[in-house]
Amino acid sequence: MSTAAISHIRLELAREPGHPLGDRNHVYHLYLPLTADGHIDADAWRSNRSLCRVRRMRPGEEEARGRIVHGPGGQWIFDYAEDTDRDNETGFRLGDERFVPGEYLSIREDDGKMHTFQVISVRPD
């Protein structure tokens, strides 16, 4: 198995109702291989699945840790418990997004609602 370079991507909640300035404490840390232009490298993910993971931190909650799965229809899913999918979260068209600082993307969180996050940093893991 070849090992691809894994990037550590930090996302923070962007402005939304109830959070007019966003929330620097509502954070995702994604660990994924990226292409040179900042897209998820699906081929490298296939060869390095065990290294592709997510950590979620929200105020008042314990940190959640899980794996990043490439699901049906090309969806990217954050899977926190392998024995259930009720806690899964789905990125909206993450395969099309560029993970570069300043860009925005959306995640359907476990509350069933879509939330917008800003890419804060991308660095080698």
Given this model, what pLDDT does residue 3 score? 58
With respect to residue 1, please indicate whether it lies within any of the assigned structural domains: no
The verdict on residue 67 lying in a domain is yes
Amino acid letter, residue 32:
L
Does 2 map to a domain? no
Domain count, the chain: 1
* pLDDT given for residue 1 in this prediction: 42
pLDDT at 87: 76
The pLDDT of residue 74: 86
User: Does some domain include residue 108?
Assistant: yes
Residue 72 corresponds to which tokens in the numbers above? Answer: 């049906």
| Distance in angstroms (rounded) separating the CA atoms of residues 76 and 37 | 18
Query: 118 is written with which tokens?
Result: 């800003």
Q: What is the rounded CA–CA span in Å between residue 65 and residue 19? A: 24
Structural domain span for residue 34: 7-124
* pLDDT averaged per 10 residues, the chain (length 125): 80 95 97 96 94 97 96 91 80 94 96 95 92
